Structure 1
Amino acid sequence: MYDTAEPNVIDDEMLRSAVEEQGPRGEAGRIAKMEGVNLKDITSLRLDFKNILKIDNLWQFHSLTKLQLDNNIIEKIQGLDTLVHLVWLDLSFNNIEVIEGLSALTKLEDLSLYNNRISALENMDGLKNLQVLSMGNNNLTSLENLIYLRRFKQLRTLNLSGNPLSEDDQYKLFVAAHLPDLVYLDFRLVDENIRDIANVRYQYSIEELNHNETLERVKREEEEKRQRELDSHKVAYVEYLNGPHLFESLYTEDMEGTRLSSLPAVAELMDSFRSKCTEVCQTIFEYGLKHHEKREAEMAVFNECLQEAVTENQEAGAKKIQEFDSKNGELLYELSQITEQQILDAKSLQYSQDVAQLMDALLNLEIQLVDQLEEIIKEYERNIGELVSSFLETVQGLMAQIRDLENQHHEKLLELCINLLERVLKGEMDEDMTDDLRALFVDKDTIINAVSASHDIHMLKIDNREDELVTKINNWATNLIQKVHRDELQRNRKRVAEINTYIDHLRDELDNLDVHEQI
């Protein structure tokens, strides 16, 4: 490791030099240097013994699978987020103190952090494919910290030699018991006798670990299931409408309504509102899921029709090219053998005319396809528009029901509170009133303002939820149709370019024909 030289940064000059050093030699190397190397295509890179302090500027190496950064003076793991294809990473013999910056390297199988200053195994949860881990000559002291490695189900080779924990009398037994799938520890095969002894010694702690890990796994699987369900609700635009979520959200910022809810009579009124509101929300939810299935079915039918039309057109074009080849396949050879200029000119003209006719035929097919797809897209756009309109009409009608329920609740609550006010003023409610409630029931204006403020908050929440739903589905429809038109335009341009390229190739064949000289 370089200790006295000035630290280096990973710049373009260093990267170019490293690529050239590791590239082909001799004539092949000269040609590669002349033509240039696309850094995105590089799969292996050595940057060892470069006195590098900071990892940087590696974003260009998108295809990198192997990276060697050992024997530098790196202090922090960073700048690796774009190297998502990395399988092998060597950061040994550096000055790293903390494991970090590896979350994006989900394909990593072999990681070496040998001879650094690391004191804890952490921040590697995303390395699900890790098979080999070299952590020798670091500052690891805790055997308990090794339990962290149980999450790496494919880990088979582990090096921890040279760490303080490796001097512990229980070290090998602890590892053998807690990492049952490990094959090699510190460059040696894990002895089965050691494993048997370890399993007996740590039996109860391992059973507890297995139990806790099972609970964690079940919890994680349930959370993943909930997330998948939520994602499916979101694409249907009815997330959190399968229950009292909307009702409960009405009171999250409603201080007056929450205070009033402590009164038994108001609580009973709220229960009724809650039940009816939840019922309507559930109707919206179920309708939204079914309508999402309709939209998915419509998209599937459209894509099928689109692909069928394109395939049929492509087959027609291929047939015309085949007919051209069968008619003119031998013509070029005949032209190369003709010695009379007059016959040569006539045959060449015939070939050129056939090429022109082929081009017209292929372009006419493309024009026909464009017209056909335009009709298919127009019908699709109409169908999507009708589906969205139908969805919004039904949902907005149901949201109007929720607003009606809120208005009815508001009227009943106001009437109830005014009646309670009379009793409060008569001193009949002293035992049932908290100081917060008593501050509302001082006069008629105060309680009316409090109930009205609660009502305004509720109506705003309902309106916002409806606006959110309307905006999302309208944006979806707009983006969907725009993408369809954009994709069709790109397809058309690509097809026309393909036709022109093919026709140019046919004409170049004629232009480059090696004909016999006139005798």
Structure 2
Amino acid sequence: MTSRLYDSIEPNVINEEMLQKAVEEQGPQEEAGQLAKKEGINFRDVKELQLDFRNILKIDNLWQFVNLTKLQLDNNIIEKIEALESLVNLVWLDLSFNNIEVIEGLEALIKLQDLSLYNNRISKIENLDTLQDLQIFSIGNNNIHNLENMIYLRKFKNLRTLNLSGNPVCDNEQYSMFIAAYLPDLVYLDFRLLDDNMREMALIKYQYAIEEMKQGEAVALAKQEELDAAEKEVAYHRAAYVEYLNGPFLFDSMYAEDPEASKLMYLPGVPDLVEMYKTKFVAICENLFEYGLKQHERREEEVKLFYECLNEALAENQEQGAKIMQAFEEKNSGALDVIQSLSDTQVTELKLAEYNEEISKLSETLMTLEMQLVDQLEEVIKDFERNIADLVSIFIENEQGLMAQCRDLENHHHEKLLETAINTLEKIVKSEFEEDMPDDVRMLFVDKDTIVNAVNASHDIHLLKIDNREDEIITKANNWASALIEKVHKDEIHRNRSRVMEINQYIDHLQGDVDNLDILEPIPGF
């Protein structure tokens, strides 16, 4: 439907030179703009960007524009929506008058409110699920034929303005009424207000179909909420390192990866033996699960308490610093004006020396206050680090104890199973075993080594599964503690550096005011 623009011009890809030029063109043109050009423009600071009418074929190199809120890419020859995933703050996007065939690549733009895909080659509205803030959607002059496709837009509860004019679907005589019925929150359709009369007629016409759809949506919503709740619960269990230990999951996984287990179940008494083993094994797993959740709560409480203490110390220090600076400013208010107005050189120099001394004392006081805070926080962080290490150590120690119980059960079960297997072999050798066996099971009893190897292989798989789960828990717990403490130390270093920089900048500002004083030179002869 759309003809390619600039047929005689070479297609472009968005590159650094094009972006720099576009930003400069759209920035301030006066003195501030010239200065920005000279010193260079940080793309991260750009909020709006116009790249229209530039014969762009491929979207690329926009990853630096992380704070962009408005992007114009209309009137180009773009064929694919791509490379926009870093523009997470985008609110307004214009891709009209291009050659796009598929709606895609917009998943990360969750803040998008206004989207124009007008005059492209799109045949289906899709892949917009994450754009729940969408309010204005223009997709006129495309190739959309299917009226049922409009039902997809019901999920966008904030959608108020929709433009579909120029699509084949608009030729359907039921078009406007269908839209009015299925999108009850829509205010404007194809630049016209949807009046109440149209809505009433539409609801009457599609009443039963919409009721049936609503029931289906309610069932789907309830199922999704159930899935979300289950996923949230598992995420919480995972944070405690005990996911899927509140049931037979670990036990079942041991047997799911054991090719010999199903064969050995044919041995007399083994099904009952396995069932008894499973009951005891699952009970230990559930104990570990409950213990893990309680320990997770203790760790979370310790973290919460630490940050409360940390923030309290920071707030107190900031308050003290603010009072010190306020006292300095109140004491020295107007001092520079007085110094500047003095005509006696000696008095001026004396006052300047006194004022500079005041600045030095202020700097020293603020730095001392900061060093006191550093020392205080160092002790707090050491205590926190020790507490976290103790909590993790205790958790791992008890977790290992419970896992050892699982291994003991497995070893005991293995002994019983091996005993049963050898007894069965003896009966087969003596022709005293009359029960039917599948051929692959009977093949295990050709000799003692074969059946013993099969039972041992099953045993090794079970132990490996237990060991791996134990190692996983230990690794995750230790990694969490290491990452947490590392972050605390890094945050404190960053805070300290920022604070020292703030103090220095404040002192430099005060010193700069002194340096900029216009001191009257003494007149010769006076």
TM-score (norm 2): 0.92
Counterpart residue type for residue 217 of structure 2: E
The aligned counterpart of 1:328 is 332
Question: Larger deviation: 272-281 or 319-328?
Answer: 319-328
Identity of aligned pairs, percent? 61
How far residue 400 of structure 1 moved from its aligned partner, in angstroms, is: 0.7
In structure 2, the partner of 1:156 is 160
The verdict on how the C-alpha distance between 1:370 and 1:110 changes in structure 2, with shifts beyond 3 A counting, is closer
2:286 maps to what in 1?
A: 282
User: Is residue 2:348 matched to residue 1:344?
Assistant: yes
The CA distance in 1 between the partners of 2:190 and 2:328, in whole Å, is 69
1:416-473 Cα offsets, whole Å, 9 max, x none, are: 2222223344555555311222222322211111111011011111111111111111
Q: Are 2:95 and 1:103 equivalent residues in the alignment?
A: no
Question: Secondary structure in 2 aligned to 1:317?
Answer: helix
1:514 and 2:518 equivalent?
yes
Which residue matches 2:476? Answer: 472
Matches within 5 A, 1:163-182: 163-182=167-186
The residue type paired with residue 379 of structure 2 is E
Deviates more, 1:72-81 or 1:453-462: 72-81
1:267-324 residue CA offsets vs partner (Å, 9 max, x unmatched): 2111111111111111111111111111111112222222222333333333333443
Q: Is 1:81 matched with 2:85?
A: yes
Answer with 64-73 or 177-186: which moved more: 177-186
Counterpart residue identity of residue 160, structure 2: R
In the alignment of these two chains, the number of paired residues is 519
Distance 1:503 1:72 in 2: 53
1:414-493 pair list within 5 angstroms: 414-427=418-431, 431-493=435-497
Distance 1:295 1:134 in 2: 50
Specify the code of the residue in structure 2 equivalent to 1:237: Y
RMSD: 2.2
Q: Match of 2:9, as an amino acid? A: A
Q: Secondary structure at the match of 1:50?
A: coil
Match of 2:58 in 1: 54
- CA apart distance, 1:233: 1.0
CA–CA separation in structure 2 for the residues paired with 1:273 and 1:349: 87
Separation (CA, whole Å) in 2 of partners of 1:30 and 1:323: 41
Whole-Å Cα distance in 2 between the matches of residues 24 and 355 of structure 1?
Answer: 38
Say whether residues 1:411 and 2:422 are aligned partners.
Answer: no
The answer to whether structure 1 residue 243 and structure 2 residue 238 are counterparts is: no
Cα distance in structure 2, aligned partners of 1:387 and 1:318? 38
Asked if structure 1 preserves the Cα contact closer than 8 Å seen for 2:267 and 2:421, the reply is: no
**Aligned amino acid, residue 448 of structure 2:** K
TM-aligned CA distance change 1:425 to 1:206, over 3 Å: farther
Q: Distance in 2 between matches of 1:312 and 1:195?
A: 60
- Whether contact under 8 Å (2:267, 2:424) holds in the other structure is no
Distance 1:328 1:147, change over 3 A: closer
**Aligned residue for 1:120?**
124
| Residue 201 to residue 430, structure 1, CA distance change in 2 (3 Å) | farther
Q: What per-residue deviation string (whole Å, max 9, x for no partner) do you get for residues 346-404 of structure 1? A: 33333333333333322222222222222222211211111111111111111111111
Question: Larger deviation: 502-511 or 116-125?
Answer: 502-511
Q: Deviations over 1:107-127 (max 9, x none)?
A: 112222222211222111111
- Structure 1, unmatched stretches of 5+, are none
Does the 8 A contact of 2:385 with 2:485 survive in 1?
yes
Partners of 1:132 and 1:212 in 2: CA distance:
27
- Which shifted more, 192-201 or 473-482? 192-201
The whole-number CA distance in structure 1 between the counterparts of 2:431 and 2:179 is 74
Alpha-carbon spacing, 1:192–1:420, altered in 2? closer, same or farther (3 Å): farther
The residue aligned with 1:259 is 263
* Matched residue type, 1:46: Q
Mapped partners of 1:148, 1:253: distance in 2: 43
State how far apart, in whole Å, the 1-side matches of 2:516 and 2:198 are: 77
Query: In structure 2, what is the Cα distance between the partners aligned to 1:78 and 1:116?
Result: 15
2:498 paired with 1:498:
no
Flag the 1:332–1:176 CA change in 2: closer, same or farther, 3 A: closer
Q: 1:472 to 1:18 in 2, by over 3 A?
A: same
| Structure 2 gaps, min length 5 | none
For residues 229 and 342 of structure 1, do their structure 2 counterparts lie closer, same or farther at Cα, with a shift above 3 Å needed?
Answer: same
Change (3 A) 1:268 1:62: same
* Partner secondary structure for residue 217 of structure 1: helix
Could you list the per-position Cα deviations for residues 216-265 of structure 1 after superposition, in whole angstroms to 9, with x for gaps in the alignment? Answer: 11111111111111111111111111111111111121100133235562
> In the alignment, is residue 387 of structure 1 matched against residue 391 of structure 2?
yes
The change in CA–CA distance for 1:49 and 1:344 in structure 2 (over 3 A counts) is closer
Shift of 1:205: 2.7
CA distance in 1, matches of 2:415, 2:456: 10
CA distance in 2, matches of 1:166, 1:369: 69
Which stretch of the first structure deviates more once superposed, 89-98 or 24-33? 24-33
Contact map agreement 2:114 2:135 (CA 8 A) in 1: yes
Distance in 2, matches of 1:330 and 1:234, equals 62
| Match in the other structure for 1:19 | 23
- Tell me what 1:205 maps to: 209
* 8 A Cα contact 2:267 2:420, kept in partner: no
How far apart, CA to CA, are the structure 1 residues paired with 2:146 and 2:203? 20
Over 3 Å counting, the alpha-carbon distance change for 1:289 and 1:361 in structure 2 is same
Aligned positions of 1:297-376 closer than 5 A: 297-376=301-380
Q: Aligned equivalents of 1:44 and 1:293: distance in 2?
A: 45
Cα distance in 2 for residues equivalent to 1:502 and 1:31: 25
Q: Please, what TM-score do these two structures have when normalized by structure 1? A: 0.94
Distance 1:139 1:345, change over 3 A: closer
CA spacing shift, 1:399–1:360, aligned 2, 3 Å: same
CA distance in 2, matches of 1:281, 1:303: 33
